[in-house]
Amino acid sequence: MIMLNIFKRLFGKTQQKVDFENLPQHIGIIMDGNGRWAKKRGLPRTSGHVAGAKTFEKIVEDAGNIGIKVVTVYAFSTENWQRPKEEVDALMTLLEDYLDNGLSRLAGRDVRVHFIGDRSAFSDKFQEKLCHMEKATMNNSGLLLNVALNYGGRNELTNAVKLIAQKVKEGELSYEDITEDTISSYLYTAGQPDPDLIIRPSGEFRLSNFLMWQGAYSELWFSDCLWPDFTKEDLLRSIYDYQQRNRRFGGV
């Protein structure tokens, strides 16, 4: 009871401090620390991923309720295939569970789901499920949720360069006309605002190939909290801290 009251007081404080008129439009989240969360409890790493998946759904709901417009979550990187097959399989099973049952859990919530990353690595059946979830939510106008799957910022830029080179080769685009906006328009996040804030829990201070182009001027926020333990209070705290920053974009 005492703990609950302390939590309520803390929660209330940050909630009061956040300026809800000046929210970051787009928040990127590197959902890291599932393995260490499980290890601390003597559980297999896969249990950490199960707990992390629950936190993912909860935080997406919280972000929507707070009024955030775009959230991009890093769920599986182009480098994560290097993990033991057993762990990769467990992660894929969790993702499939989200694709099969996530829609009913999202029912009534105004969330548009979009998957970013290289889909060609997934089976046709898996890719169909990705399209199905996107189509089923495409008319929702509340929170836009980008789920990064087999995503790598370098892979995304390499693909963009190839597509642009092809257009130039075919005479559909002249190389003098290539601008920063051209490049943005060939990324998975085409048409979306760049992330204002990128959150990384788990005590690591790196981007691990997440939104390399889009994050050029993002404010970075780090925390020791392991992803399964991440709460709405942590999210509000990151937004509050973001609001204290002075974004200069190279100016004065």
Nearest approach, Cβ of residue 42 and ligand IPE (Å): 14
- Using CB under 6 A as the binding rule, the residues of this chain from 91 to 110 that contact ligand IPE are 91
34 binds, among ligand IPE, Mg ion, none (CB under 5 to 8 A by kind): ligand IPE
Q: Which stretch binds Mg ion (CB under 5 A): 27-35, 53-61, 81-89, 174-182?
A: 27-35
Residue 80 sits in the site that holds ligand IPE (CB under 6 A): yes
Query: Any catalytic annotation for residue 32?
Result: yes
Q: Tell me if 155 contacts ligand IPE by CB under 6 A.
A: no
Q: Are 61 and 145 in contact, with CB atoms under 8 Å apart?
A: no
Task: Give me the catalytic one of 80, 140, 155, 159.
Answer: 80
CA atoms of 9 and 149, how far apart (whole Å): 37
Q: Does 46 bind Mg ion (CB under 5 A)?
A: no
From the candidates 32, 62, 196, 234, give the one annotated as an active-site residue: 32
Active site (annotated) includes residue 181: no
Assess 77 for contact with Mg ion (CB under 5 A): no
Give the binding site for Mg ion (CB under 5 A).
32
Active site residues: 32, 80
